[in-house]
Amino acid sequence: MLHSKRPRALVTGVTGQDGSYLADLLLAKGYEVHGVTRRSATDNTDNIRHITDDPALNNERFFLHCSDLNDPFDLQRLLTAARPHEVYNLAGQSHVGLSFKIPKATVETNALGVLNLLEAIRALNLDCRFYQAGSSEMFGGVQNTPQNESTPFHPRSPYGTSKVCAHWLTINYRESYGLFACNGILFNHESPRRGERFVTRKTAAAAARIKLGLQHKLVLGNLDAKRDWGYAPEYVEAMWLMLQQDKPDDYVVATGKAYSVQELVATAFECVDLDWREHVVQDPAFFRPAEVDSLLGDATKAKEKLGWQPRTDFKGLISTIVETELERYEKLTK
C-alpha cells in the first residue's frame, strides 16, 4: 500500500459513534484515515456513509478495513499495511447492561483485544502513538466525588471490569516498553449517532415516536441513576489532543455536571411538548444486577494540559438528539 506524506491514523470501531466523529475530525485535519470494523453479514456503516459516499475521500484519504481485535495475526497484517502514526482503539462491546448477559465476549474484546493490539504494535516496533478508550464505568461504586485521574477504580459490571483491565494494560505497555500510550477516561457522551440501545437515544427516539403517534409508552429501569453527559464530537477532540502532547498520560474527560435519568427523560419529552409522566413506565427487568448510582467527572487536568473544554450544555445535547429523531420519523411517515 502506497502512502502519502499525510499523517496516518488507524481507528478501530470506526462505524460507531465515537469512531465516526473521530474520522470526521481527522479527515478535516488532513489525515489519511484507516477505519477498522468487524466482519458482519449486515451493513453497519450508516455513521460513515457520508464518508464512503464521497469519492474525494473514500479510497483516497479514507480506507475501510475488516478486522477483529481477537485475531492477533490479522492485527499485525493490518498495522503492517497501514503503518499508522496514531492508533485510536474505540472498538469493543460498549453496552453496560448487555455486558451482564455476555460477560465473556465483553472481556475478550474489551480487555484481551486491547492486549492483542498493544502487543502487535510492540512486536512490529511501530513508531506510533496509541489511544485507549476508557470509561467512567471503571469508577463504578465511587470512592469520592467528583472522580478524577487519582480516584480508585471499583467497577460494577463486566464492562467496567474489562475497561479497568485495558486501562492497566495500556499503562503497563507504556511503562514497560516505552510506548506512547494514553488512556482517555471518558464520561458519558452522546449524539444522534449513539446506538439505539443506549438510554439517551432510546429516550429521544421514543419521545419523537410518541409525539407522532407511532408509540405509546417508554419502558425504562432505574430513573434515579445520575450521569455526567457530554457531546460526543467534542469528546473526540480530547482524544486527538492527548496524542499531540509531548508525553503520554491519562485524562478524565467530562462536563463536571451530573443529571439523573429522570431529568434526561423530562428534558427529552419537554422538547416535544409532552409530559413524560404520562408515557414512561418503570420495569424492574431493566435494572442491573449491580447499579452505579452516580458518576461525576473532574476534567481539570484535561482543561489545563490539553486546553480542552466542553461547549454543549445538557439541554442543548438532549434537544439535538430529539430533533434529529423527530426529523427522521417525520420523513418515514410521509
Which residues carry out catalysis?
Answer: 135, 137, 159
E strand or H helix that includes residue 104: helix 103-107
* CA 223 – CA 225 distance, rounded (Å): 6
Helix pair 232-242, 17-28: axis angle to 10 deg: 60
Q: How far, in Å, CA of 248 to CA of 178, rounded?
A: 10
For residues 170 and 148, what is the distance between their CA atoms, to the nearest angstrom? 18
| H or E element that contains 135 | strand 129-135
Cβ contacts of 37-41, under 8 Å, gap ≥ 24: 37/13, 37/64, 37/65, 37/66, 37/67, 38/66, 38/67, 38/68, 38/91, 39/66, 39/67, 39/68
Q: How far apart are CA 11 and CA 27, in angstroms?
A: 12
DSSP string, 247-264: S--EEEE--S--EEHHHH
Take residue 80 and report the three cell numbers written for it: 503492517
* The total number of residues written for the chain in this structure: 334
